Structure 1
């Protein structure tokens, strides 16, 4: 955690109402704490990849080839794919989850045309399952986004086409996408079903949910009528990349949301009782570990637990991994900034460092030493909160309340309560320096039904920035 340093230094740009705060979602109760995943590195070095049609890779799927296959290329297989056309399902392999990973030289192993079965613009989002009933690898993938298909293999490299597993029509009215599936052995020992599937379903309202399907054979699927996970406040309208993960004695549905975080919700073996969400992983903001985290796939081997995920912005992602367990550190040693921590404060419900007194009186403290266009300012301070009204016009017209940035590392932790009354209202916190680009975190009401949501982090994805004089590359903690 990176709590508030004593001096909260930002330039606040307000084109909307920003006032007293709301708390972040409560973390899910668990029998034991989540693993402390520490970024270890990028697996897909784009400059050296043999198959690189679009300079992006998504949706890693780890398969323990050595446990199931005769004479595999390596102990572990990693299936992945680009997303943009032509995409194509790829294979990498390694004798260790820590790598190095070798790219299969004849990728893609599944392409966009497979006569006479299909010809589509792209195939992507592979997920591998050992199919005990047939003694084969079942590989699920989408193409187009309206349908999830499967193929089978005895060696994990050469596949025979199966069929469509799920499609839009099976999901009911209003479904426009049925993709990004993860398949697993059914978690309920009392169920007659043998396999379960979590997949993303998009709808006419352009909000993505997680659906759950069950199967006796991994081929024919029965889809539950209602989503198992709906986007909530803080998800920015979408959830995807759903997967089932057991940690200790507790099952979790893990997934990513549109804010770029990997989340977890406790769930019972029937996948009917789903608990509240908690943050499982976000990028650290150190070195290469910046930006969005998505499509989680978790494997435990011995004392260590590995998280494989897609890292970076949506259409420029790469495959990265993080690791938890004894002796795990960042690749270049401990994090370079020794931020204070508070284990009782995982989502900044309260500041771990002493809070400021900037809003304790009936006017802002002397730290806020200037106001641009102050003659038009209508902000108020009362009850320990700063209230900024909605101003017409953008950053070039609104009064801007400002203070100097301190030297050295700094962080701002605050609570916001935002009342959306008009479409496209925006509010922002900005920092700038003569030698660095402006960094801004912007919230915007996009359209009816969405309320307020995080909109962007200037220059990069949602981000936490280590210094006002560095490019704002890391991801920001933005919950609630």
Structure 2
């Protein structure tokens, strides 16, 4: 491939990377019932009427297989709400969660409808409830005598505050319906029924004690036939475990009879920066022969990850579905339940805010093409090409052509050692001095590197998107009442949007220096955070551009009052992602270079070969950089190449990138990064 290196615009000594234009950046269940029809995905799990994983095992994939990618996942289109709160007969708390779909017509004699949908309110008193329909597309009819399981059920348990999160499957060996639900949050229970409506036996499946020391919640269970045909267990459970650190994980338990369970010690899924502090609603799903675990995070997005049948090897995290933002399709997409009937596949889920949710559904759009997951950003920190208003803070004062300062008369920020140092002012936003740049119209993106270490309440530093003292959004690291949090708080007319979605425990690996980014597509602003300066993960909920009406954006630091000691937030730089025109100008500034990468086997060892051909107008120094070494070749003439084959020192190499830096005789230069393929020798 032929690439043109971007001009170096970062600080000296920084390894160059290729430019990414802003436009590119912005572009960038109980599960499936089986079907006998050719081409339909195999079925597993709680809503599997015709066959389970035990009879349709999923083959484990190896590294050598052409495994699935994010683009192989189906696209779902929002269809509407099932639990219409205004018309529901049983509606004690005006919220409904955790849909579980069961193919009643495949197992039961004379069912109320072909399909049963179980759900519940979450808050006290809860109550396991039922709707039924002859089609997955509805209409759905509410069972007249809900709840079918209440928060008091003697002799099985005395009154608990609530019962919720139902999940149902058919136990073929026992010839009965198995129901799982929680109540209290510390206990997941089972119940049995011959008709799916009247349940006549119940017991405890898993409790906090089974999860180990420090477990505080054991709830939101999904149960399927075990996906591993060689397992000695008939059933597998995924459930949410909370611990004393208030970080929720997805755990696995296994059972022979569906009643007595053994919990695995290690979690299956743990939170990351994209999910926020919590992951829950774990469900197993088979699509096109591949087993997945699907779940939601604190960010309100449903994700999918490949999973092997032993439930030990979890693949990369891919986004499966998020709310469109149109009409009623807003807020969370949680507790995913994916069901296939014939040629149609449906997603049932919790929609809306955590304690105001309803059950919604979406349908697979077979004509939709899922955009590819973004690849490695070649210039994640905009070191090599940035927008015209970017500031490296290498002067002696802020450039008044770029910056204005709210309450400039009390400003105590300073530029020193190539950084903007802002003290934590003894006030909130309404009293702090705020250096700001104008917010562009249309799409934009800004990134900064922050060094701040808050250790006492309300010390904080980060990025501020500002209209006035009562209307702003701030992305920062703060030491709050519950300890360190990374938050994206939107303040409207003096009132904060501040919930568990907005203020979250910092991501693993967050050090003294981290990177913050705000990205606007012209309609919404998304915050994102990076712990390594390479990968940025979305953080919190988006902010509506029009509703906020921000006019300025910039670094800030404060501590709420004079009580906590003053610390300093240091900002290494403030960079705008270039527009397409600015990116093109960067490319024109650099020499042309054609780069090719090849992975090959020599004597059973893996090598990565890099060739860089100078296509500029004069000689240049070319530096080839790979994870396995580097080589610099001086005075490479026009039309000539620099070459090196780098030994991986093993029999295999994973896919990666090689970087080529080019410096002309006049000192100008640039770089590009080119991918190379994975290879296993022998």
Q: Per the shorter chain, which TM-score range?
A: 0.7 to 0.9
* Residues in 2 aligned to 1:399 and 1:106: alpha-carbon distance in whole angstroms: 61
Instruction: State yes or no: 1:115 paired with 2:162.
Output: no
Cα root mean square deviation, aligned: 3.6
* Cα distance change, pair 244–347 in 1 and its aligned pair in 2 (3 A): farther
Q: Which residue of 2 aligns with 1:38?
A: 77
Instruction: State yes or no: 1:345 paired with 2:380.
Output: no
* Cα distance change, pair 228–371 in 1 and its aligned pair in 2 (3 A): same
* Cα distance change, pair 131–276 in 1 and its aligned pair in 2 (3 A): same
Instruction: State yes or no: 1:468 paired with 2:575.
Output: no
* Residues in 2 aligned to 1:236 and 1:92: alpha-carbon distance in whole angstroms: 32
CA deviation map 1:438-466 (0-9, x unaligned): 46254444569975534544566643356
Instruction: State yes or no: 1:205 paired with 2:252.
Output: no
Instruction: State yes or no: 1:90 paired with 2:129.
Output: yes
Gaps of 5+ in 2: 1-20, 27-66, 502-539, 551-682
* Residues in 2 aligned to 1:221 and 1:64: alpha-carbon distance in whole angstroms: 25
- The Cα shift of 1:108 comes to 0.7
* Cα distance change, pair 207–466 in 1 and its aligned pair in 2 (3 A): closer
Secondary structure of the structure 1 residue equivalent to 2:75: coil
Contact preservation (8 Å) 1:141, 1:181: yes
Q: Which residue of 1 aligns with 2:519?
A: none
Larger radius of gyration: 2
Taking CA–CA contacts closer than 8 Å with sequence separation of 6 or more, which of the two structures ends up with the larger relative contact order?
A: 1
Secondary structure of the structure 2 residue equivalent to 1:169: helix
- Give the one of 281, 298, 305 matched to 2:321: 281
Q: How many residues align?
A: 431
* Cα distance change, pair 103–56 in 1 and its aligned pair in 2 (3 A): same
CA deviation map 1:152-204 (0-9, x unaligned): 11221111122101111122211111111000010111112111000111112
- Give the one of 413, 416, 422 matched to 2:454: 422
- The Cα shift of 1:302 comes to 3.3
Q: How does 1:381-460 map to 2 (within 5 A)?
A: 389=422, 391-392=424-425, 393-402=427-436, 410-415=442-447, 417-423=449-455, 424=458, 425-430=460-465, 432=467, 438=471, 440=473, 442-446=475-479, 452-458=485-491
* Residues in 2 aligned to 1:99 and 1:344: alpha-carbon distance in whole angstroms: 33
Moved more, 365-374 or 183-192: 365-374
* Cα distance change, pair 135–290 in 1 and its aligned pair in 2 (3 A): same
* Residues in 1 aligned to 2:72 and 2:188: alpha-carbon distance in whole angstroms: 34
- The Cα shift of 1:252 comes to 1.8
* Cα distance change, pair 112–67 in 1 and its aligned pair in 2 (3 A): same
- The Cα shift of 1:394 comes to 2.2
* Cα distance change, pair 273–446 in 1 and its aligned pair in 2 (3 A): farther
Q: Which residue of 1 aligns with 2:287?
A: 247
Q: Which residue of 2 aligns with 1:54?
A: 93
- Give the one of 350, 356, 359 matched to 2:390: 359
- The Cα shift of 1:98 comes to 2.1
The TM-score with structure 1 as length reference comes to: 0.79
Contact preservation (8 Å) 2:412, 2:423: no
CA deviation map 1:263-301 (0-9, x unaligned): 222221111112232222221222111112211111123
- The Cα shift of 1:251 comes to 1.8
* Residues in 1 aligned to 2:408 and 2:293: alpha-carbon distance in whole angstroms: 49
* Residues in 1 aligned to 2:135 and 2:451: alpha-carbon distance in whole angstroms: 51
* Residues in 1 aligned to 2:184 and 2:549: alpha-carbon distance in whole angstroms: 37
* Cα distance change, pair 260–195 in 1 and its aligned pair in 2 (3 A): same
Secondary structure of the structure 2 residue equivalent to 1:66: helix
* Residues in 2 aligned to 1:347 and 1:39: alpha-carbon distance in whole angstroms: 30
- The Cα shift of 1:123 comes to 0.3
* Residues in 2 aligned to 1:441 and 1:323: alpha-carbon distance in whole angstroms: 36
Secondary structure of the structure 2 residue equivalent to 1:244: strand
Q: Which residue of 1 aligns with 2:115?
A: 76
Q: Which residue of 2 aligns with 1:312?
A: 352
* Cα distance change, pair 416–106 in 1 and its aligned pair in 2 (3 A): farther
Contact preservation (8 Å) 2:166, 2:180: yes
Q: Which residue of 2 aligns with 1:336?
A: none
Moved more, 300-309 or 261-270: 300-309
Q: Which residue of 2 aligns with 1:371?
A: 405
* Residues in 2 aligned to 1:257 and 1:367: alpha-carbon distance in whole angstroms: 42
Secondary structure of the structure 2 residue equivalent to 1:210: strand
* Residues in 1 aligned to 2:73 and 2:147: alpha-carbon distance in whole angstroms: 35
Gaps of 5+ in 1: 9-28, 330-340, 473-480
Contact preservation (8 Å) 1:284, 1:290: yes
The TM-score with structure 2 as length reference comes to: 0.57
* Residues in 2 aligned to 1:176 and 1:133: alpha-carbon distance in whole angstroms: 33
* Residues in 1 aligned to 2:416 and 2:97: alpha-carbon distance in whole angstroms: 46
